[in-house]
Structure 1
Amino acid sequence: MRRKIRIIFAGIVLLAGFLIFSWSDIYHMKVSLDNKKKIEAYQKTYGSTEKKSKETKEDAQKEKEDTVDKNLHVMKNEELYQAMQSYNQKIYENGQADLTDPWAYEAESMDLSEYGVKDGMIAVLFIPKMKVTLPVYLGATKEKMAKGAVMLGETSFPIEGTNSNCVIAAHRGWKGIPMFRDIEALEIGDIMTVQNCEETLTYQVTKLKVIMPDDSEYIMIQPGKNMLTLITCHPYRQHTRRYLVYCELSGKNSKKDSSQAAKEDKEKINASEKVRKLAIKEDGKQIELDTIWRKVVYILMGVISICIVTGYLVRRKREHKKR
């Protein structure tokens, strides 16, 4: 009887330890499923009207109601897109005067509920090289950053046009969720896409840089360009600096003399590669050790579980033979 109690107690302790240790992975799975649903709903909502028209039901009254809803939704999309354009133009003309205030990053640039957006989600970010797809929310509040990426207040919306720089921030790993943890995998020339309420834009990585947290001038709009800038903490688990990935709208770069452009590109690539290699040297080992450590602990838990079950079965077999 005592042996059974010991085995049961050991099993409970092992299960409790497993749940505590794996909580971040469980949380990761939950948030990933939530994000998947949100992204699918967003893409369905802001997909093509042609696709939606094929999904209408046969019932005449229902079809009529659906058509009215669609027309209203299309109007809201167009109004939202125009509001984004106006906002981008406004902050460019005033030189992003409020960007020097750190609290402005958390502020929502506009009231999205007026356009039927209730959760603050304004885009979907997809980075193939990192195997990351994240919802993008407006305003860098703690609550939103716990769910996905965020667009910093007083920066541009990710839409067509020039004189814009959308700055998207995300954690360098959060409770088991990778987010921008592996940002150092990005190199010059890598691509990513951003889907907004009207279109999907493709951006290409053009430069990498590490800055101090209060260096706001490095995330300002660059005249004549349509940019997307990713920003996250650096080094991994220390957060003393910020790692930036500058991107430009694919095919929209300004035309220069080919020889001069080639020279500038080569210098830019060399400088960015130095930044990337130094960053990997600073925290690459820590990320690798975290990954290995978690795998080792899971293996140990598995081995201990097998030993406990095997020991229990062996004892039962011996007791059965004695009888």
Structure 2
Amino acid sequence: MKLKTDKKTIFVILLFIAGLSLLLYPLVANQWNTYRQSKLLNSYDAQVAQMERSGEIDYKEQWSKADAYNQSLKPSILPDSFAVAEATEDNKEYFSCLNLTKDGMMGSVEIPKIDIKIPVFHTTEDEVLEKAAGHLQGSSLPVGGEGTHTVISAHRGLPSASLFTDLDKLAEGDHFLLHILDETLCYQVDLITVAKPDETGALSVEEGEDLATLLTCTPYGINSHRLLVRGHRVDYVESAMEDVPKSLFGVSPHTSYLLWVITGLAVTGIVIGGLYVRERRAPAAAAVEQTTPVTKVFTLEHREYMEYADNETYTGYREYADNENDNGYREYTDNDVYDGYKEYTDNDTYAGYREYTDNDTWEDCREYNDRE
């Protein structure tokens, strides 16, 4: 019986560990990716600061170069940001802009309402979108200016990173920031639309406007369409951005990793507690009158007894009732819970007498209860 109990305990422990691992994976993976993104941003800032001190950066030249590139862009049909990127003859010029550290990182995008700040790299290739946001090549570089429209894209619903998962929580009037070179560009959301992957008209430049669009897949988990959150350029007020409330448990159920873990642990604790209480109450429950249908009835030496065999609850349970020798005698044999447990009820000689023999838990224990 002890061996069976140990196996059951090990199984419950392994099941608990497996469930806990599934609950913790999104939280741990997202925290790791957040740490990696923060490390990338810190490394970028440190490299740029070092280049500034050594006089390697001419910001005026960098801005002028990016503006010139934007002016050279010809109106064209933009590609789907999540399609496989194709090499073009403009790649060399494109990668020479906003690439101070020569690793493709342009800067970062920050969305205070959903509490994210992630790096922005050149292109929307798979390698980029697995870890950060990407600039949609063919759209304006994110340096602002009249007659520009930059598009920043990121995945939604990755198990290892939140990225733009909560982008649908933005509403008109909310703000997002682009940290580029030595400036912070602020945009106020003025249009939220859903389009098919090949419907890119909403990403075109509008004369006299300074626009930026955040783009991701939708609906969540299906990804058949594209969610476009567009904003127009406004003055950046740092204090206003700091007043946006932050949520401890995430903005939506998709990113409420900590809440899911706490809920899962609570449910697991309740289940384990229930099993423990059930195990402790099991001996007392044996005294309750048995109502399960009898599986076999035997008559042996004038002693009629009922045997419950191959029964989940009463396997190996024998009850001797109304016979001369063992009136009201219940015997549990070969039973995981009550192995070797004998209970005498409604018996003139042994009323209320319980005898535990050859039992791992109550071996050689005799209990006299309500005995005349």
Same fold (TM > 0.5) = yes
Is the aligned partner of 1:213 residue 2:215? Answer: no
Contact map agreement 1:112 1:120 (CA 8 A) in 2:
no
Q: Which runs of 5+ in 2 are unaligned?
A: 237-251, 282-359, 366-372
Aligned pair partner of 2:267 in 257, 276, 300? 300
Match of 1:99 in 2: 78
Q: Which structure has the highest helix share of the two?
A: 1
Deviation at 1:118, TM superposition (A): 3.8
Deviation at 1:11, TM superposition (A): 1.4
Which letter does structure 1 place at the counterpart of 2:57?
Answer: V
Deviation at 1:113, TM superposition (A): 9.6
Which letter does structure 1 place at the counterpart of 2:164?
Answer: F
Residues 149-201 of structure 1, C-alpha deviations (whole Å, 9 max, x = no match): 11111111111422111101112221153322222322222112111112111
Is the aligned partner of 1:89 residue 2:61? Answer: no
The verdict on how the C-alpha distance between 1:150 and 1:133 changes in structure 2, with shifts beyond 3 A counting, is: same
The verdict on how the C-alpha distance between 1:106 and 1:180 changes in structure 2, with shifts beyond 3 A counting, is: farther
The verdict on how the C-alpha distance between 1:34 and 1:313 changes in structure 2, with shifts beyond 3 A counting, is: farther
Contact map agreement 1:134 1:148 (CA 8 A) in 2:
yes
Match of 1:178 in 2: 162
Task: Note the 1:253-272 alignment, pairs <5 A.
Answer: none
Deviation at 1:7, TM superposition (A): 2.1
Which letter does structure 2 place at the counterpart of 1:196?
Answer: I
Separation of aligned partners in 1, 2:143 and 2:38:
23
Contact map agreement 1:99 1:105 (CA 8 A) in 2:
no
Separation of aligned partners in 2, 1:207 and 1:130:
18
Aligned pair partner of 2:172 in 161, 169, 188? 188
Separation of aligned partners in 2, 1:308 and 1:79:
71
Which letter does structure 2 place at the counterpart of 1:145?
Answer: L
Which letter does structure 2 place at the counterpart of 1:34?
Answer: R
The verdict on how the C-alpha distance between 1:227 and 1:13 changes in structure 2, with shifts beyond 3 A counting, is: same
Q: Which runs of 5+ in 1 are unaligned?
A: 48-65, 253-286
Deviation at 1:225, TM superposition (A): 1.3
Separation of aligned partners in 2, 1:290 and 1:181:
7
How large is the Cα RMSD of the aligned pairs? 3.8
The verdict on how the C-alpha distance between 1:45 and 1:189 changes in structure 2, with shifts beyond 3 A counting, is: farther
What secondary structure is seen at the aligned counterpart in 1 of 2:159? coil
Aligned pair partner of 1:148 in 113, 129, 132? 132
Separation of aligned partners in 2, 1:308 and 1:9:
13
The more displaced of 189-198 and 296-305 is 296-305
Contact map agreement 1:7 1:312 (CA 8 A) in 2:
no
Aligned pair partner of 1:17 in 16, 19, 35? 19
Which letter does structure 2 place at the counterpart of 1:74?
Answer: I
What secondary structure is seen at the aligned counterpart in 1 of 2:94? coil
Task: Note the 1:1-323 alignment, pairs <5 A.
Answer: 2=3, 3-46=5-48, 70-75=53-58, 79-91=61-73, 94-95=74-75, 97=76, 99-100=78-79, 110-112=94-96, 115-251=99-235, 288=253, 294=260, 296-304=263-271
Residues 182-226 of structure 1, C-alpha deviations (whole Å, 9 max, x = no match): 223222221121111121111111111111110122111112111
> TM-score under structure 2 normalisation?
0.60
Contact map agreement 1:46 1:198 (CA 8 A) in 2:
no
What secondary structure is seen at the aligned counterpart in 1 of 2:54? helix
Whose RCO is larger (CA < 8 A, sep 6+)?
1
Contact map agreement 2:165 2:255 (CA 8 A) in 1:
no
**Larger-gyration structure (1/2):** 2
Which letter does structure 1 place at the counterpart of 2:218?
Answer: H
Deviation at 1:112, TM superposition (A): 4.8
The verdict on how the C-alpha distance between 1:299 and 1:83 changes in structure 2, with shifts beyond 3 A counting, is: farther
Deviation at 1:122, TM superposition (A): 0.8
Deviation at 1:5, TM superposition (A): 4.3
What secondary structure is seen at the aligned counterpart in 2 of 1:221? coil
Deviation at 1:303, TM superposition (A): 3.4
Which letter does structure 2 place at the counterpart of 1:24?
Answer: P
The verdict on how the C-alpha distance between 1:7 and 1:118 changes in structure 2, with shifts beyond 3 A counting, is: farther
Deviation at 1:117, TM superposition (A): 2.4
